[in-house]
Amino acid sequence: MTENYKPKVIGFLCNWCSYAGADVAGTSRMKYPPNIRIIRVPCSGRVDPLFVLKCFQNGADGVLISGCHPGDCHYTDGNYHARRRFALLRDFLDYLGIDKKRLRVEWVSASEGQRFAEMVSDFTAELTKLGPRSKV
């Protein structure tokens, strides 16, 4: 049943670093699974936990939030807020019956196209291993 399973991944990428990193991966023709749907946000700190829950509610198998490395946020401390916020949300996901491995927070700079491609590949492989998610 799960051999043709392709997880749906939603990626919230900060405009200044991670989105540019994804762009580098694309323009450099690096291979990574096409399962991710990217939503560009001004900063990882802009991602409301409700966005993540809405993604899961609407059938996403995994959600990735990616921003500038700590200390590099263009709005000073947006990524510190995101890091704290999503550490709490991961525990809450367990409470909702959603495996916390389905939510990832990663830092990717504008020059790390390779890292972005590897991160998406790794996350997709992990979600494939977890299998389809039952609806909330």
Where on the chain is the footprint of ligand FES (CB under 6 A)? 14, 16-17, 43-45, 67-68, 73-75, 78-79
Shortest approach of ligand FES to residue 90 CB, angstroms? 18
> Do the Cβ atoms of 130 and 4 come closer than 8 Å?
no
Q: Residue 7 or residue 78: which is nearer to ligand FES going by CB?
A: 78
Q: Residue 79 or residue 128: which is nearer to ligand FES going by CB?
A: 79
SS3 label, residue 128: helix
Structure tokens at 72: 């590099």
Q: Residue 57 or residue 111: which is nearer to ligand FES going by CB?
A: 111
Helix or strand (DSSP H, E) at 11: strand 9-14
- How many of the other CB atoms lie within 10 Å of CB of 33? 17
Shortest approach of ligand FES to residue 96 CB, angstroms? 26
Shortest approach of ligand FES to residue 135 CB, angstroms? 31
Phi–psi pair at 65, nearest 5 degrees: -120, 125
Q: Residue 67 or residue 113: which is nearer to ligand FES going by CB?
A: 67
Shortest approach of ligand FES to residue 74 CB, angstroms? 4
Closest CB to ligand FES belongs to which residue? Answer: 67
Residues 6 or more apart in contact with residue 82 via CB below 8 angstroms: 43, 44, 45, 47, 65, 67, 105
